[in-house]
Structure 1
Amino acid sequence: MRNIFTFGHRPAQRNWTVADLRANKGKLQLTEVTAMNGDQAARAAAAGIDTIITRSQMLKEVREAAPNTFITAALMLVDHPTENDVLEGAMRAMDQGADALYTTRSLATIRMLADLNFPVMGHLGLVPPYSTWIGGLRAYGTTADEALKLAEQFRAMEEAGAFAVEVELVPQQVLEELNKRTSLITFSIGSGSGGDVTFLFSEDICGETPNPPRHARAYGNVLRLQQEIELERSKALSAFQLAVREGSFPYKDVSVSLKANELEAFRARLDETRPCGAQSKG
């Protein structure tokens, strides 16, 4: 663990720092997963996952659940529509303990954040929100021309001040060549093992996605368990409904009872009083 001081001026410990990630480039293959709540974050940290990425809105909960893990806060486009929104979101995320920021916005945005000395991750290859520009959701860099264009984008992002880049659905051979020629820490998703960090969505890893992307692999079958839970929930609710209708619930063991002598005293005294709801004649 490394002792650090967060941007929010609080002492903390981290499994990795930016300097460590840079020093590790081309060496040990690291891992990154998504975590959208505290439970996912805690499970990832317990499994020894190296880095976590989460939406900035979930950061506080995720950070509390994984206090020592390197966490990147994603400043999603729809959540931060203007440059001012991005800046405010970045400041808030760093104050809450983010170690890095992720954005799919322009180089100008990356430069603005990098100028504040914030570690910034960009996104190249297939960038899903902009997939219309390349003809849909498809691999990118599959021709020499596209691969060279990608090399230009790598250089531009590096010059803008990014420290890392998510590389999605790029041929492994292309990423391997680019990774040799860039100082950017490369996070590969669907781009083979040619990067520095292998990234997958937690729900794909755990088998929660009905139709996972081709590049993902399920190492569990949480979806089956979830379906069994929902089936069991439906059966239980139906059984309760039927039991009440049939009169088999509530039964003696789950009801409160008076002792026989107290019940007898209650009934005797009740008969001596005016019936409930009766009104005096005036």
Structure 2
Amino acid sequence: MRNIFTFGHRPAQRNWTVADLRANKGKLQLTEVTAMNGEQAARAAAAGIDTIVTRSQMLKEVRAAAPNTFLTAALMLIDHPTEKDVLEGAMRAMGEGADALYTTRSLDTIKMLADLDFPVMGHVGLVPPYSTWIGGLRAYGTTAEEALKVVGRFRDMERAGAFAVEVELVPQQVLEEINKHTTLVTFSIGSGSGGDVTFLFSEDICGETENPPRHAFAYGNVRRLQEQIERERIAALSAFQTEVRAGTFPYERVSVSMKPEHLEAFRTRLSKTDRLSVARG
């Protein structure tokens, strides 16, 4: 663990720092997963995952659940429509304990954040929100011309001050070659093992996604368990409904009872009270 001081002026410990990630480039293959709530973050930390990425709005909860894991705050375009929103979101995320920021916005945005000495990650290859520009959701960089465009984008991000880049659906061979010639820490999703960090969505890893993308792989089958739990819940609720209607529930063993002598005394006194009320009426 490394001792650090956060942007929010709090002492903390981290499994990795930006300096460590850079020094590790080309060495140990690291992992990154998504966490959109505290439960997912706690599981990732317990599993020894190296880095976590979350939407900036969930960062506070995720950081609390994984206090020592390197954590990137995603400043999603839809959540931060203007440059002012981006800056405010970045300040808030760093103040809440983010170790890095992720954005798919312009190079100017990356430069703005990098000029504040914030560690910034960009995105190359397939960028899903902008997939219409390349003809839809598909691999990018499969031709020499496209691969050179990926190289150009890497160079642009280096000049803008990014420290890392998410590389999505780029051929592994292309990423392997580029990774030899870039200072950027590369986070590969669907781009093979040619990067420095391998990234997948938690729900895809755990088998919770109904129609996972081609590059995902399920190491578990949580969806089957979730469906089983849902069936059990409905069955239990239906049984309760049926037995209450039939008068067979509540059972004697889950009800409170009175000893016979106390019950008789209660009934006697209640009867006298009723007669007295009638007489007064």
Q: Which runs of 4+ in 1 moved over 4 A?
A: 277-281
CA distance in 2, matches of 1:270, 1:67: 62
* 1:80-99 matched pairs, under 5 angstroms: 80-99=80-99
Match of 1:271 in 2: 271
Alpha-carbon displacement from aligned partner over 1:197-231 (angstroms, at most 9, x marks no partner): 00000111111111111111111111111111011
TM-aligned CA deviation for residue 280 of structure 1: 6.8
* 1:1-282 matched pairs, under 5 angstroms: 1-274=1-274
Identical aligned residues as a percent:
82
Structure 1 residue ranges without an equivalent (≥5): none
TM-score (norm 1): 0.96
CA distance in 1, matches of 2:172, 2:234: 46
CA distance in 2, matches of 1:279, 1:118: 86
TM-aligned CA deviation for residue 273 of structure 1: 2.1
Q: Which amino acid aligns with 1:66?
A: A
Structure 2 residue ranges without an equivalent (≥5): none
CA distance in 1, matches of 2:85, 2:258: 64
Task: Tell me the secondary structure at the aligned position of residue 78 of structure 1.
Answer: coil
Q: Which amino acid aligns with 2:60?
A: K
Q: In 2 relative to 1, CA 278–32 (structure 1 residues): closer, same or farther, beyond 3 Å?
A: farther
CA distance in 2, matches of 1:150, 1:278: 94
Q: Which amino acid aligns with 2:162?
A: A
Alpha-carbon displacement from aligned partner over 1:55-107 (angstroms, at most 9, x marks no partner): 11111111111111000010111111111111111111111100000011111
CA distance in 1, matches of 2:211, 2:27: 33
CA distance in 1, matches of 2:268, 2:10: 70
Q: Which amino acid aligns with 2:72?
A: T
TM-aligned CA deviation for residue 278 of structure 1: 8.0
> How many residue pairs are counted as aligned between the two chains?
281
Q: In 2 relative to 1, CA 249–177 (structure 1 residues): closer, same or farther, beyond 3 Å?
A: same
CA distance in 1, matches of 2:190, 2:123: 13
CA distance in 2, matches of 1:24, 1:169: 23
TM-score (norm 2): 0.97
CA distance in 1, matches of 2:259, 2:82: 70
Q: In 2 relative to 1, CA 274–14 (structure 1 residues): closer, same or farther, beyond 3 Å?
A: same
Q: In 2 relative to 1, CA 210–279 (structure 1 residues): closer, same or farther, beyond 3 Å?
A: farther
Alpha-carbon displacement from aligned partner over 1:118-147 (angstroms, at most 9, x marks no partner): 000011100000000000000001111111
CA distance in 1, matches of 2:128, 2:204: 17
